[in-house]
């Protein structure tokens, strides 16, 4: 039976607190069982609950709003996701969510390497708050949800600054990682691939306060995007160093490959020395250049002829405990192409997979200890006007099924040395591992009445 579209109730509010703290208060308030916080260039967004929900797994793509539509697997999963978003009955919708790395195996139709895990999870929120420039824009599909979010933001609040308890990131899986780098170098020298990113997992044995960790970590990092989520059974918070793809409503597309790394030590002279070393290192320059080449090739397939170009090449970007070589590749979508076509073309990021991608996938599956899941996938927003912003999930901490962990990798090419690549993973893990806040010291938050989708 046809149902009329749902409309948002809206409210604006001047905020005395900074946007990051306000978004974190909403996350820790208990208003919604599922939520996501997403920072994009000075705007913090909170998405709580679900007015509509889209999930993707090997059975197909499913929309709930609240009636359910299932599109059985047809080999074109991202096209199915777009079709379901077109069917969302929420006026002016914006969706938030994540895509697992293993979506890369399946997006071309092949299910051979996919288990029962969820590949993508998006929600059009029941309640959304966007905070920028000292003002919050609130909207909810019912007045009770709007009032509950307003109460959280209006309540007096004093943040309890928790003390992070760093975790040792050097030992877990170190020897296995050195061996894997050697295997990858041999494969590259045998011309089976040009570049591959191998990662290692660092277990976190204690319970964490994810909101507190987000606040501490964001203050200690300089990410391209940041996020905090509890969505679809996965909790994570992270400080993404790069975007996978950004699409504007007018069809402008940008991808931002980062490859090539040195530490940031906090010592100005030493950091400058490492910067100059990075800019002159043939291994790092080669690793970066082939990543930029692949990003261009991928966008050419979905962009108007002649529109793809390198808008910024091999500048140094500081990201928390590391500095990277960074470039920006841009283009304009060809006629008939949409944001999901651009996402399909570039996902997963070449800087987290390898060159060529198919050979890198085989090598990753053969040499890593477990599936990646959210690690090196994407967190993203997409809206009814055709805009998309998808950030690469790195420099993050994860919790699922009672287990908590960190994960980081390094790009391996012919001139890679196992000890240096292991050290690079340690440098990257430091962006998160030194900011972990124990659950025994939670960040305080205002208390407000529960809204739809709240925990009992």
280: CB partners within 8 A, 6+ apart? none
Per residue in 363-402, pLDDT tens?
999 999 999 999 999 999 999 999 999 999 999 999 999 9
pLDDT for the residue numbered 453: 42
**Average pLDDT taken over every residue of the chain:** 93
The CATH superfamily label for domain 174-222+245-372+393-433 reads: Anthranilate synthase (3.60.120.10)
Q: Where are the domains of the chain?
A: 9-154, 174-222+245-372+393-433
pLDDT for the residue numbered 228: 98
Cα separation, 145 vs 31, in Å, equals 9
Are residues 53 and 63 in contact, defined by beta-carbon separation less than 8 angstroms? yes
Positions marked catalytic: 242
Q: What is the CA radius of gyration of the chain?
A: 21
Distance of alpha carbon 258 from its chain centroid, rounded? Answer: 14
| Residue 86: HSE in the Cβ half-sphere, 13 Å Cα cutoff | 9
Per residue in 295-337, pLDDT tens?
999 999 999 999 999 999 999 999 988 999 999 999 999 999 9
The pTM score is: 0.93
pLDDT for the residue numbered 3: 62
pLDDT for the residue numbered 161: 75
Per residue in 333-357, pLDDT tens?
999 999 999 999 999 999 999 999 9
* pLDDT(52) > 50: yes
Please state the rounded mean pLDDT for residues 258-262.
Answer: 93
Nearest to 292 by CA among 246, 251, 326, 343: 326
pLDDT for the residue numbered 4: 64
pLDDT for the residue numbered 133: 85
Per residue in 8-49, pLDDT tens?
999 999 997 789 999 999 999 999 999 999 999 999 999 999
Nearest to 122 by CA among 149, 150, 100, 144: 100
pLDDT for the residue numbered 456: 33
Number of other CB atoms surrounding residue 364 within 10 Å: 26
CA torsion through residues 443, 30, 93, 106, sign = positive
Residue 444 pLDDT class (50, 70, 90 cuts) = very low
């Amino acid at each position: 039976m046809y149902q009329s579209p749902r409309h948002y109730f809206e409210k604006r509010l001047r905020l005395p607190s900074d946007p990051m703290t306000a978004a974190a208060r909403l996350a820790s308030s208990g208003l919604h069982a599922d939520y996501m916080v997403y920072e994009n260039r000075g705007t913090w967004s909170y998405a709580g609950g679900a007015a509509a929900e889209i999930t993707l797994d090997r059975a197909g793509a499913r929309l709930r709003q609240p009636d359910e539509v299932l599109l059985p697997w047809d080999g074109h999963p991202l096209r199915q996701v777009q079709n379901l978003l077109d069917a969302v009955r929420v006026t002016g919708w914006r969706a938030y969510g994540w895509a697992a790395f293993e979506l890369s195996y399946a997006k071309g139709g092949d299910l051979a390497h996919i288990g029962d895990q969820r590949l993508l999870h998006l929600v059009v929120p029941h309640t959304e708050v966007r905070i920028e420039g000292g003002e919050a824009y609130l909207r909810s599909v019912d007045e009770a949800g709007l009032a509950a979010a307003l109460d959280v933001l209006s309540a007096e609040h004093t943040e309890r600054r928790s003390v992070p308890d760093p975790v040792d990131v050097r030992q877990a899986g170190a020897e296995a990682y050195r061996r894997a780098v050697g295997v990858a170098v041999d494969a590259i020298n045998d011309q089976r691939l040009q570049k591959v990113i191998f990662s290692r997992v660092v277990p976190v044995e204690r319970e964490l306060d994810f909101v507190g960790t987000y606040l501490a970590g964001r203050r200690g990092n300089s990410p391209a995007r940041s996020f905090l989520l509890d969505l679809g059974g996965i909790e994570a918070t992270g400080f993404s160093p790069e975007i996978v793809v950004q699409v504007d409503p007018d069809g402008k597309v940008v991808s931002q490959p980062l490859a090539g790394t040195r530490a940031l030590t906090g010592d100005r002279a030493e950091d400058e020395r490492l910067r100059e070393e990075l800019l002159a290192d043939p291994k790092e320059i080669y690793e970066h250049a082939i990543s930029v080449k692949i990003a261009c090739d991928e966008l050419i397939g979905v962009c108007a002829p002649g529109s793809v170009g390198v808008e910024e090449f091999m500048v140094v970007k500081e990201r928390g405990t590391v500095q990277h070589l960074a470039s920006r590749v841009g283009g304009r979508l060809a006629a008939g192409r949409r944001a999901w076509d651009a996402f399909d073309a570039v996902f997963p990021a070449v800087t987290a997979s390898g060159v060529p991608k198919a050979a890198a996938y085989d090598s990753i599956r053969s040499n890593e200890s477990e599936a990646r899941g959210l690690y090196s996938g994407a967190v993203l927003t997409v809206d009814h006007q055709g805009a998309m912003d998808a950030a690469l999930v790195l420099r993050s901490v994860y919790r699922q099924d009672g287990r908590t962990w960190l994960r980081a990798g390094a790009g391996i090419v012919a001139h890679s040395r196992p000890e240096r690549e292991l050290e690079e993973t340690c440098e990257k893990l430091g962006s998160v591992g030194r900011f972990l806040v124990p659950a025994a010291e939670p960040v305080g938050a205002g208390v407000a009445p529960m809204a739809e989708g709240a925990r009992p």
